[in-house]
């Protein structure tokens, strides 16, 4: 756990949910933490909270990751400020519930930029320096939707991208392990954050049996610890997550897709 002490982290999507909790969790290690997202008010609140309760310092960087130029701008900002990133957390993301075939193309572009392209670009930009320094850790916030076939509509496509994130993680480790750079894909299940509202689900978290639901705080702690402990694809414990993965091994994918598709339709 000592790896993070006095080091520098960059966390995307830090303005709410899992990202917000990751920043709070790592602040115990006297770090410099660059927090990025679009909602400045939330990031200011986070900065105040961290700086009055820990020895960590927080730098706010407002960036919209749907803009394809943002990853390079984030990297340039770090370079200008002489900040070497020791811990990169690619967390920003969202889902959508509209039908894929009528989903606006510009909105689709934004979605792909936030959920996938920015993650790949930020990894590419920061891993070059980690490789030279022979030290670095990357936490990719993925999902169990990247492991279990997750429906046939929009959430299915979200799952396809998270599946790519998991495979990308394995590729990175096979390439950069020898340079002492480790990447972990964190796979949470249903977690109480701003995700549902942003995706357009009408179902409230209070409608979900607590057995299925995790808190962002628990997910954040488990995810950071897993990354520091060298885990590659880490499925969050609790919230029925691992049981779902286990059960899914005995059910044909076609049936799983049908069942998850129905569950998503029910939540819309």
Ligand X SMILES: NC(=O)c1ccc[n+]([C@@H]2O[C@H](COP(=O)([O-])OP(=O)(O)OC[C@H]3O[C@@H](n4cnc5c(N)ncnc54)[C@H](OP(=O)(O)O)[C@@H]3O)[C@@H](O)[C@H]2O)c1
- Min CB(6)–ligand X separation in Å: 25
Interface segment toward ligand X; rule CB under 6 A; list 15-23, 48-56, 127-135, 247-255: 15-23
Residues touching ligand X, count (CB under 6 A) = 28
- Min CB(212)–ligand X separation in Å: 10
94 touches ligand X (CB under 6 A): yes
Q: Which of residues 196-215 bind ligand X (CB under 6 A)?
A: 198
232 touches ligand X (CB under 6 A): no
74 touches ligand X (CB under 6 A): no
93 touches ligand X (CB under 6 A): yes
- Min CB(214)–ligand X separation in Å: 8
15 touches ligand X (CB under 6 A): yes
- Min CB(48)–ligand X separation in Å: 16
Contacting residue, 8, 27, 56, 66, with ligand X by CB under 6 A: 66
Please state the three-class secondary structure of the chain as a single string: CHHHCCCEEEEECCCCHHHHHHHHHHHHHCCEEEEEECCHHHHHHHHHHHHHHCCCEEEEEECCCCCCCHHHHHHHHHHHCCCCCCEEEECCCCCCCCCHHHCCHHHHHHHHHHHHHHHHHHHHHHHHHHHHHCCEEEEEECCHHHCCCCCCCHHHHHHHHHHHHHHHHHHHHHHHHHHCEEEEEEECCCEECCHHHHHCCCCCHHHCCHHHCEEHHHHHHHHHHHHHCCCCEEECCCCCHHHHHHHHCCCCHHHHHHHHHHHHHHHC
Q: Which of residues 129-188 bind ligand X (CB under 6 A)?
A: 141, 143, 188
Residue 241 structure tokens: 């997550």
261 touches ligand X (CB under 6 A): no
Residue closest to ligand X, measured at CB: 17
238 touches ligand X (CB under 6 A): no
Residues that bind ligand X (CB under 6 A): 13-19, 37-39, 64-66, 91-94, 114, 141, 143, 188, 190-191, 193-195, 198, 216
């Amino acid at each position: 756990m000592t790896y993070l002490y006095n080091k520098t982290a960059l966390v995307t999507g830090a303005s709410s949910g899992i990202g917000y909790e990751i920043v709070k969790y790592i602040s115990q290690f006297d770090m410099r933490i660059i927090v990025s997202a679009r909602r400045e008010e939330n990031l200011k609140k986070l900065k105040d909270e961290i700086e009055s309760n820990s020895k960590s310092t927080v730098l706010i960087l407002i960036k919209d990751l749907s803009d394809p130029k943002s990853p390079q701008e984030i990297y340039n900002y770090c370079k200008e400020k002489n900040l070497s990133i020791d811990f990169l957390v690619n967390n920003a993301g969202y889902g959508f519930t509209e039908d894929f075939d009528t989903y606006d193309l510009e909105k689709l572009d934004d979605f792909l930029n936030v959920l996938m392209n920015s993650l790949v670009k930020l990894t590419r930009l920061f891993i070059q320096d980690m490789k030279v320094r022979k030290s670095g850790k990357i936490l990719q916030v993925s999902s169990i939707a990247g492991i279990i076939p997750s429906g046939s509509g929009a959430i299915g496509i979200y799952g396809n991208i998270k599946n790519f994130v998991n495979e990308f993680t394995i590729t990175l480790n096979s390439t950069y392990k020898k340079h002492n750079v480790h990447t972990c894909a964190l796979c949470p299940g249903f977690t109480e954050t701003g995700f549902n509202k942003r995706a357009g689900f009408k179902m409230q978290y209070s409608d979900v049996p607590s057995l299925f639901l995790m808190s962002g705080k628990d997910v954040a702690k488990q995810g950071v610890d897993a990354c520091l402990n060298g885990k590659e694809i880490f499925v969050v414990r609790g919230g029925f997550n691992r049981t779902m993965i286990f059960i899914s091994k005995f059910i044909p994918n076609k049936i799983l897709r049908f069942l998850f598709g129905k569950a998503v339709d029910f939540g819309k």
